[in-house]
Chains A and B, each alone.
Chain A
Amino acid sequence: MISKSETFVSKFQKYGIITSILILILILYLIFPDIVAVVRLLLSNPVAVLGTGLFKLIIFPGLIYISLVPLIAEWVERKIVAKMQVRVGPLYVGGWEGFLQPIADLLKLISKEIIIPKNADKLIFVLSPILVFIIGALPSVVVPYSPNYVIWNYEFGVLLFFAVLGFYPLAVLTAAWSSNNKYSFIGGLRALYQLASYEVPLFLATLPSVMLANSLSLSGIAASQSRVWFVAFAPISAVVFFVAMMAELERIPFDTPEADSELVTGWTTEYAGMAWGLLQFASYVKLTALSGVFVVLFLGGWQGPAFFPPVVWSLVKVAAVILILLLARGYYPRIRIDQLVRAGWGWLIPLCIVNILALVAFQPYLAAFVR
């Protein structure tokens, strides 16, 4: 007997493949001149390929980079948390310390069935992982890793970053509601409260950097930290941003939306196989984007002593921030939803305001240090 879900899956496959091929043809049509240019450069001057828009889009701050970081981060996280809990973690896949485990996970997820519950809102249920993934990955477009390595060097990059990220709770709630499951819905509501509560501190903690740099572009903010990193003038904001970042990523001290001992896996309960994998992928991609923006706002972006090129400094700092974010998983217990909301509104926002007030009070002395 063929169920409604199976007919839906075959229909979705048919139209999905047609739509994807159309999108790919459109992309190829749009970037065809660039492909021709890159091929010509490869023949004449291969090093110059590193500066082209197509290279940035596909490889370095673009698609390949944001797909590789989650794979590495997942292995590092499992390994480190295992060491902290006196386990060994992944050990066999790939020989040395199981470093190919994420690839094995990816292959496993691709070869698993995506089960669509019969009561779910099927089309939205299948489309919302893609939506979550797009919204999680799109902010990376304005994050600079060096003066050159940024896909879109936008004058209002800070606003674009947080505007795109502002759609994330909506996508999460869509996924939760379309699953039509109690656990998913409770998890989705918690995610909504959490993401909404911590978006305001995240946004307000960005303000000191914008004030000091007199610029809304992320490249401009990074460039104006050539003397002193802004973490020196806005230490409170840096801490608040870091905490709010953890909450936005739904990582361990703030993982109430997917609390696995209360809500199965929260708003991702009904997702299986690659649909779940895509949601997880989206969360790690968002982690990359937010760590990148934290480095740009407070840790000087690509600035550093000249014995390394700027890109290396950016990557080292981003890796350090990601590592600290991952370590938190081994240390802290989960906090309750009311504690979480109270901490967000009652502590983080007043702390942000304190930092802004301090900047206003010391304004005449600050101008000498910046730029």
Chain B
Amino acid sequence: MLAPDSGPFWFLVFFMLLAATGAGLLLLAMRLAPRGRGLLKEETYESGQVPPGGKRVRLAMQYFSFLLLFLVFDVVAMFLFAWGFSFFGYGQLQSAYMVLLLLFLLPPIYLTLRVARNVGV
């Protein structure tokens, strides 16, 4: 599989080359740049204020339901690719089942958007 001069081989080498490039640029910058004195530069940035207390902030994830919807859609999209790969191999009648699957995707979106609107998100 990883024969020299094959696709996966170049993929692997490209991956390592990118890692070396990124790390090299960072290390070069660390080596070349002067280090500033003083500890104030290491404070968390809060537009000039000294950050009070808490290390981690907690935020409401208002659009969480959309992330769940994303999980469903990504899986369905994968199935669609398995069908689309041999689209001309099937007749229109067989493709109709896929169309049904596609249309079943629309009500959840409508419902989620409606709930989101009602909640005021």
Q: Hey, which bits of chain A sit against chain B, CB under 8 A?
A: 1, 3, 5-6, 9, 12-13, 16-17, 19-20, 23-24, 26-27, 30-31, 33-34, 53, 56-57, 62-63, 109-119, 126, 129-130, 133-134, 137-138, 141, 151-154, 158-159, 166, 180-183, 185-186, 189, 192-193, 196-197, 199-200, 203-204, 207-208, 210-212, 214-216, 264, 269-270, 273-275, 277-278, 337-338, 341-342, 345-346, 349-350, 353, 356-357, 359-361, 363-364, 366-367, 370
Contacts and interface: CB of A to CB of B under 8 A. Distances in A.
Interface string B45-75: 1110000000111010101001101100110
11 contacts: A13-B30, A20-B27, A34-B4, A110-B33, A138-B15, A152-B11, A207-B77, A274-B29, A338-B116, A356-B99, A366-B88
Contacts of B61: 189
Nearest to A16: B27
Nearest to B21: A63
B88 A363 contact: yes
B16 interface: yes
A117 B15 contact: no
Contacts of B56: 180
A12 B21 CA distance: 16
Contacts of A269: 45
Contacts of A115: 36, 41-42
Interface residues of B, number: 75
A350 B106 contact: yes
Nearest to A200: B73
Interface of B: 4-5, 7-36, 39, 41-47, 55-57, 59, 61, 63, 66-67, 69-70, 73-74, 77, 80-81, 84-89, 92, 95-96, 98-99, 102-103, 105-106, 109, 112-113, 116, 121
Given A119-B44, A130-B19, A53 B102 contact: no
Given A16-B26, A117-B45, A141-B14, A357 B109 contact: no
The 6 lowest CB-CB distance pairs between A and B, nearest first, are A274-B29, A152-B7, A130-B22, A211-B87, A211-B84, A118-B42
Given A113-B34, A152-B7, A216 B85 contact: yes
Most A Cβ at <10 Å: residue of B17, B56, B80: B17
B22 A129 contact: yes
Nearest to A150: B7
Contact of A152 (B8, B32, B95): B8
Nearest to A119: B44
A9 B69 CA distance: 41
Given A154-B7, A345-B112, A346-B109, A114 B30 contact: yes
Contacts of A364: 92
A26 B16 contact: yes
A193 B20 contact: no
A275 B22 CA distance: 9
Contacts of A203: 74, 77
A113 B35 contact: yes
B19 A23 contact: yes
A211 B14 CA distance: 30
B57 A185 contact: yes
Contact of B15 (A119, A134, A278): A134
A345 B13 contact: no
A16 B25 CA distance: 11
Given A119-B44, A212-B87, A360-B95, A199 B29 contact: no
A148 to B, nearest CB: 13
A6 B35 contact: yes
Contacts of B66: 193, 196-197, 341, 345
B22 A133 contact: yes
A346 B21 contact: no
A154 B22 CA distance: 25
Given A208-B84, A277-B25, A350-B109, 12 more contacts: A16-B23, A20-B20, A20-B24, A57-B10, A63-B14, A152-B10, A152-B11, A182-B46, A196-B67, A273-B29, A274-B25, A345-B66
Contacts of A57: 10, 13-14, 17
